[in-house]
Structure 1
Amino acid sequence: MTSLPTSDQDSAPLAPLVTRTVSLSPEDGAALLALLPATSPRDTTSWVRRGEGLVGWGRAASVTAHGADRFAALEAWWRSVSSSAVVRDEVDLPGTGPVAFGSISYAAESPVGATLVVPSVVIGRRGDQWWVTTTSTDALPPSVLPAAVDDVTAPGEVAFADGSLSPTEWAGAVAEAVTRIQNDELDKVVLARDLDVRTSEPIDVRWLLSRLAENYESTWVFAVDGLVGATPEMLVRREKGLVTSRVLAGTIRRTGDDEHDLALAASLARSSKDLEEHEYAVRSVADALAPHCSSMNVPESPFVLHLSNVMHLATDVAGVLTDDTTSLALAASLHPSAAVCGTPTPVANELISELEHMDRGRYAGPVGWMDARGDGEWGIALRCGAVHHDDDHRMSLYAGCGIVAGSEPESEVAESDAKLIPMRDALTSPRP
């Protein structure tokens, strides 16, 4: 069984956090990711899409929780830390003031656990508005911008190796899952596989982030506590009383030929196998959000989301929040959705444990950020890899596929290969 080392023990601040947010006027042409200085993989944070979002570095405070109550433990810690903080916020937007970045293990029993990190410095951008937030445990703020951002370091020679299962063994697991589904034991299960990576140079998270952002601009490019990736799936966004979620389920690989890809998109939109998989995922999200929302909008039919390497069936679910549930608590109510687990959830989870032969770690768990108001954005940690905490020359990459009665093992292996491409390319692309 492959597993990653666990995080350090909780790091609660010894004194109240002192947080200040002010407007920032960067030079013309500045990019968020280009402002990140060199630091350890665990202390680089990012949540960026189309040049907007948040980046941060350093660690003013952090906490790691384990077990079935890990979401509640993080929520309680953040409520305590943010409510006692001394805050001066001159911008007053979602993502200003105290902000915590988080990544949550898929499984309650995972030794990796769930982590919230409060960076020492956060730089944000929304449209033309830029800001910087500094956080410390004393009155002296940390240095805001480095005098000169260090050169981004390439990973050097990169070697890939099978993870817990070879492609052939994983195809066998898919075949077994299809048999269980056809025997009416469950409707759908999402099976994942891992890939081991070793590099000759220490992994510089900024190298990966910049290449993912360049090649997959419609995704959210993230880094939290050594977990790095580019997810196309927004699990939940909470902003000023509005709750939204983007559901992706049903995938087809692109060819690079626009005319052919349009035909493939049309076939995806008509595919009974993919539509069935997508319906399960949408229903699970809508049912989880309904107790917290009114005026729910659940489109009857999905649209096809075109990414650079694959296309997905996608549905945007929206609702008006009727209580004070935070974005993290909403993420907890949605996890695990049918898009990363299956249906029925308990049966699918048992089959995942039986057939995958690995610890997913924080792959397929919520990843994102939350501010002191409870607003925030949480994606699903897909198209990602985790830098090992005890060896920054090593990563584990992950990819998964939704398995239903009509799934074919060879096709699912090909789909998982396509989903590994973003991280593989980010690691091996040459220096520009």
Structure 2
Amino acid sequence: MVTLYQNKVIDQLRNAFTKKKHMVGVTVKMEQIDPLAFFAAGETLFCGQRFYWSDYSHERTFVGLGHAHVIKSEEKTKERFREVESAWRQMVEDAFIEGKGPLMFGGFAFDPLKRSAEHWNDFPPAQFVVPTFLLTKQRDETWLTVNVVHESLDQLEEMIDSLFTIHDDIEWHRAYVVEKEEVARDRWMHAVHHATDLIQSGMIEKVVLARELFLSFSERIDRSHVLRSLHEQQPRSYIFAFESGSACFIGASPEQLVKKDGKICETACLAGSIRRGHTIKEDEELGQRLLADDKNRREHAFVVDMIEQAMNEVCTEVVVPSEPTLLKMRHIQHLYTPVHGRVKEGISIFSLVERLHPTPALGGFPKEKAVQTIREIEPLDRGWYAAPIGWVDADGNGEFAVAIRSALLDTNEAHLFAGCGIVAHSDPRSEYEETNVKFKAMLLALEGEQR
């Protein structure tokens, strides 16, 4: 069966090469294949050049292996969004597309003006890749897209043969934690105190402060195993991984930033949270407490108001429910309000990302003052944490999530990140406990049975 796909792809590529384009891409429909197994099969040939994406409904999954084309921006202003969009449009114009066409995946840094920590060196202000091999699984259908710039057909045949020699009995290697450190915990608690002073003095209304947890493991962390664990434990989340150099940014985010499909776009307001209960009764009581809590409702309202305003600027119509509902995850439940709109002519998904990032749920309010405050008092470099990560296709459709509940992995080390919204009467100890709840998703995926 592999030979059948291989021959079909090679034949189509031979024909595509006659078009004399900078890039050629062909797509063939395949039988079902496990995307996680495909990601794992690419480790030998493409370690450091893989990505994985599954939307929150898990109806659409992408796995990318290899780099046919890379778009980077070192621009430290909003121009990075436009620079990436311009480069993408140019690449699509210079490509010969047969079938579904190319797709690129990547992300942006939360704040490129923040001094960069060494562990984020391989993650610039913006980076997107067009994979050599793209596996697309949408509901019950699977496609393989091959994008080529300067590869020889002989090399491609060998790669395809290697990729589809997939074994179901893959042996997962469990790494064990040998060191755990709460990075700059006291500085973070002090920053929360400082933030409440700024808010009470009227200098800002809300700011989100994140902190870091560092883990060291007994051996190299198996990224495929972490992805599989996240799938099992976080069924209503965006599951993502993006490798760059030796590092891999990975997570299970419950928060959509924006999705665009033709003229229709959607986003979500996710702010205000409380833990899950140990019993059904306790869980319902905690949910009702969250719905009635003034601090969390005000925090949620900041996000709804900002997103509605931003959407009204670029949409002909915007639909916003009058009251939030509860979004329940494994360890935590959130206040949740979906927002839908019809975009105006000429508005791209990159325009939407630029306008929405960061929402008050990840930055604060007012936006610019909040980001400046984070830059000055938060004791870590967020890198790509809490920033937009996602995909865009040749037609300008795509989807981005907010990269929370995430970690940066490198060999046997992991940097985990979690934050919470600070308002006038926030209690540092309570906010600290909230971050502990938010760490649980990645801790459970990394530590497994130890927890």
TM-score (norm 2): 0.85
Please state if 1:191 is matched with 2:215. Answer: no
Find the counterpart in structure 1 of residue 71 from structure 2. Answer: 63
Shift of 1:38: 4.2
Shift of 1:266: 0.6
Q: 1:15 to 1:87 in 2, by over 3 A?
A: closer
Find the counterpart in structure 2 of residue 108 from structure 1. Answer: 112
Unaligned runs of 5+ residues in structure 2 are 1-19, 117-123
- The equivalent position to 2:54 in structure 1, one of 28, 48, 67, is 48
The aligned runs of 1:249-288 (5 Å cut-off) are 249-288=271-310
Find the counterpart in structure 2 of residue 118 from structure 1. Answer: 130
Find the counterpart in structure 2 of residue 7 from structure 1. Answer: none
Specify the SS of the correspondent of 1:429. helix
Q: Distance in 1 between matches of 2:174 and 2:112?
A: 32
Shift of 1:146: 2.5
Shift of 1:123: 1.3
Shift of 1:375: 0.3
Q: Distance in 2 between matches of 1:109 and 1:21?
A: 40
Give the conservation status (yes or no) of the 8 Å contact 2:256–2:402: yes
Please state if 1:79 is matched with 2:97. Answer: no
Q: Distance in 2 between matches of 1:387 and 1:222?
A: 13
For each residue in 1:224-282, what CA deviation from the matched residue of structure 2 results, as whole angstroms up to 9, or x when unmatched? 23210001001000012110001100010113322101110011011110010001011
For each residue in 1:311-350, what CA deviation from the matched residue of structure 2 results, as whole angstroms up to 9, or x when unmatched? 0001101101112322223111111111110011122112
Q: 1:311 to 1:88 in 2, by over 3 A?
A: same
Give the conservation status (yes or no) of the 8 Å contact 1:155–1:199: no
Letter in structure 2 aligned against 1:426: A
Shift of 1:355: 1.7
Q: 1:272 to 1:152 in 2, by over 3 A?
A: farther
Give the conservation status (yes or no) of the 8 Å contact 2:227–2:239: yes
Please state if 1:402 is matched with 2:398. Answer: no
Q: Distance in 1 between matches of 2:223 and 2:348?
A: 29
Q: Name the one with the larger helix percent.
A: 2
Please state if 1:34 is matched with 2:37. Answer: yes
Letter in structure 2 aligned against 1:84: D
Q: 1:197 to 1:164 in 2, by over 3 A?
A: same
Specify the SS of the correspondent of 1:156. coil
Find the counterpart in structure 1 of residue 197 from structure 2. Answer: 179
The range that moved more, 325-334 or 213-222, is 325-334
What's the C-alpha RMSD, in Å, of the aligned pairs?
A: 2.1
For each residue in 1:150-206, what CA deviation from the matched residue of structure 2 results, as whole angstroms up to 9, or x when unmatched? 83643522244335412x432222122112111111110000001112223223321
- The equivalent position to 1:128 in structure 2, one of 140, 144, 148, is 140
Please state if 1:245 is matched with 2:264. Answer: no
The range that moved more, 116-125 or 311-320, is 116-125
Q: Distance in 2 between matches of 1:252 and 1:171?
A: 19
Give the conservation status (yes or no) of the 8 Å contact 1:105–1:363: yes
Q: Distance in 2 between matches of 1:81 and 1:334?
A: 25
Q: Distance in 2 between matches of 1:387 and 1:79?
A: 32
Find the counterpart in structure 2 of residue 9 from structure 1. Answer: none
The range that moved more, 411-420 or 109-118, is 109-118
Give the conservation status (yes or no) of the 8 Å contact 1:44–1:58: yes
- The equivalent position to 2:219 in structure 1, one of 188, 195, 201, is 201
The aligned runs of 1:297-376 (5 Å cut-off) are 297-376=319-398
Give the conservation status (yes or no) of the 8 Å contact 2:179–2:217: no
Shift of 1:102: 1.0
Specify the SS of the correspondent of 2:391. strand
The range that moved more, 59-68 or 395-404, is 59-68
Shift of 1:15: 7.0
Shift of 1:307: 0.5
Q: Distance in 2 between matches of 1:42 and 1:252?
A: 36
Please state if 1:23 is matched with 2:29. Answer: yes
Give the conservation status (yes or no) of the 8 Å contact 1:285–1:337: yes
Letter in structure 1 aligned against 2:396: G
- The equivalent position to 1:210 in structure 2, one of 221, 225, 228, is 228
Unaligned runs of 5+ residues in structure 1 are 1-13, 90-95
Which aligned segments of 4 or more residues in structure 1 are displaced greater than 6 angstroms? none
Larger radius of gyration: 2
For each residue in 1:23-64, what CA deviation from the matched residue of structure 2 results, as whole angstroms up to 9, or x when unmatched? 2221xxx43223222426632211114443212222212122
Aligned length, in residue pairs = 405
Give the conservation status (yes or no) of the 8 Å contact 1:41–1:203: no
Letter in structure 2 aligned against 1:424: L
Find the counterpart in structure 2 of residue 158 from structure 1. Answer: 177
Find the counterpart in structure 2 of residue 6 from structure 1. Answer: none
Q: Distance in 1 between matches of 2:267 and 2:36?
A: 25
Specify the SS of the correspondent of 2:420. strand
Q: Distance in 1 between matches of 2:229 and 2:217?
A: 17
Shift of 1:288: 1.7
Please state if 1:416 is matched with 2:435. Answer: yes
Q: Distance in 2 between matches of 1:206 and 1:348?
A: 36
Q: Distance in 2 between matches of 1:232 and 1:217?
A: 9
